[in-house]
Amino acid sequence: MTDTATVRTRVRIPLTFGDGYSANAEAVTFNGLADGREHLALLLGHRPLARTPLVRLHSECLTGDVFGSARCDCGPQLREAVERIAETGGILLYLRQEGRDIGLYNKLDAYALQDQGLDTYQANTALGLPEDGRDYRAAAQILTALGATAVDLLTNNPDKPRQLRAHGIDVRETVPTGVHATPSNLRYLRAKAEHTGHTIRLIG
């Protein structure tokens, strides 16, 4: 169970991506989140009350989401998630947890270590930081505030449903995202699959 959060503001935002895809979203902000951060929920598509919503927990990635960095798969995952959720009805949580919650500068420091041969987890550890410092308690608070206490979760990361369930959210099904592999992110994706059990099928 998690502490109570309340809705602060709701506002309509038309979304448009670089490839021309567009969707209408209702952006929702909150009071009382456990970590005090400005996380955002985007409600997409038509969601009948009797239907389990499709939900994506997307951690902020300035380099991937905004600048289109090919070192990760964050930007393509965000684009994919918006379209899939808009089709079925559900919620995208945009969580302010840059670099698995180590922050932007530390993430770029970790990139520099990856250029020397470390993988993404080894680089974080070499900086004296957690491999993955994300806590999804606030995400559970947001879903509860929106009345979405039973969800289908769009993710390849087994830690996300595990944490949500621990905070009282009924994750009925996990739905894998696509694999957005490039020559620049293949080592990164392989580390996620091999080190933390992400459900990513890589060829070669």
Active site residues: 132, 134
Residue tagged 């021309």 (tokens): 20
Contact by Cβ (8 Å): 78, 65: yes
Q: Which DSSP category does 156 fall into?
A: S
* Closest to 188 (Cα-Cα) out of 77, 129, 114: 114
Strands 150-154 and 54-59: parallel
Q: Which of 29, 93, 83 is nearest to 60 (CA)?
A: 93
What residue spans of 54-149 are helical by DSSP H? 74-88, 98-101, 104-114, 120-126, 137-145
Q: Are 154 and 177 in contact (CB under 8 A)?
A: yes
For the CA atoms of 153, 73, 84, 97, the dihedral, rounded to the nearest 10 degrees, stands at 50
C-alpha torsion 88→90→96→98, nearest 10: -20
Q: What is the largest CA-CA distance in the chain?
A: 51
